């Protein structure tokens, strides 16, 4: 699922993007009505929009976009005046959230939308191994060869988040910045390399984490690695 977040508060924007990325969703962001209009294309599944942006209210921009695109939207604002909220629902928004935003509630709303629209996969499978979100473990399907005698592989919290993104985006290159953000906002590329060494030691032999020079990393089958 690809999500576009439009929010002019940098700290909040980065925090929300990080939370969404850690769930394995692809996130792009902007901070004005103009940038929102320019960023929209047919690949966006969901819009998360602050109502009041530096160049004006986002509602006219959304109304204009809806002439060409049908993209679900969640609005949020510190302005909870009744008529403002009702205007949001006139634009067929999923919900209107008050600010300050509570990230866990926002994530719950996004997850509910994804489930209703078949965009959320609780379990993903590649090469006979299943990633279970609830257990945060890689589990061998019945009949699949085990790894070092194990049918379940657990990861530490930060490495689990990195692996989840790589597994959900199997075969796709994920930027170093996105993966590093799974550790903490203060983490460096060196910290990411340490976590990737730990991951490679735990991976079943069928998988490889490939360094795509200048771009990031991707999880693939060993025979597909360069």
State pLDDT tens for residues 38-79. Answer: 998 777 889 999 999 999 999 999 999 988 888 899 999 999
- Domains, the chain, ordered by start: 2-116 (3.40.50.2300), 123-224 (1.10.10.10)
- pLDDT attached to residue 138: 87
What CA–CA distances, in Å, run from 60 to 47, 63, 90, 142? 15, 5, 12, 54
pLDDT, greater one: 44 or 157: 44
- pLDDT attached to residue 122: 55
Rounded distance between C-alpha atoms, residue 134 and residue 73, angstroms: 27
* Residue whose entry in the numeric block shows the structure tokens 């030691």: 201
Q: How far is CA 83 from the centre of its chain?
A: 32
Q: Are the C-beta atoms of residues 225 and 218 closer than 8 Å to each other?
A: no
What CA–CA distances, in Å, run from 125 to 130, 163, 169? 4, 13, 11
pLDDT reading at 146 higher than 80: no
Q: Which residues pair with 147 in a beta bridge?
A: 150
- pLDDT attached to residue 185: 56
pLDDT class of 121 with cuts at 50, 70, 90:
low
Q: Are the C-beta atoms of residues 206 and 168 closer than 8 Å to each other?
A: no
- pLDDT attached to residue 143: 60
Rounded distance between C-alpha atoms, residue 163 and residue 195, angstroms: 10
Global model pTM greater than 0.75:
no
């Amino acid at each position: 699922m690809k999500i576009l977040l439009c929010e002019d508060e940098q700290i909040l924007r980065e925090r929300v993007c990080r939370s969404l990325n850690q769930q394995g969703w692809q996130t792009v962001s902007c901070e004005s009505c103009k940038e929102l209009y320019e960023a929209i294309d047919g690949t966006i599944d969901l819009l998360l929009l602050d109502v009041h942006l530096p160049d004006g209210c986002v509602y006219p921009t959304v109304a204009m976009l809806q002439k060409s695109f049908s993209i679900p939207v969640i609005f949020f604002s510190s302005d909870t005046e009744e008529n403002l909220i009702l205007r949001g629902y006139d634009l067929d928004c999923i919900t209107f959230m008050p600010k300050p935003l509570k990230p866990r509630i926002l994530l719950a709303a996004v997850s509910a939308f994804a489930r209703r629209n078949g965009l959320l996969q609780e379990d993903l499978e590649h090469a006979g191994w299943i990633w279970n979100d609830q257990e945060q473990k890689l589990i061998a399907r019945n009949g699949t060869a085990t790894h070092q005698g194990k049918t379940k592989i657990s990861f530490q919290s930060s490495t689990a988040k990195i692996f989840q993104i790589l597994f959900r985006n199997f075969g796709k290159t994920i930027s170093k910045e996105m993966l590093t953000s799974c550790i903490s906002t203060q983490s460096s590329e060196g910290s990411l390399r340490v976590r990737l060494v730990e991951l490679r030691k735990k991976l079943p032999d069928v998988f490889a984490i490939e360094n795509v020079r200048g771009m990031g990393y991707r999880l693939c089958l060993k025979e597909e690695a360069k």
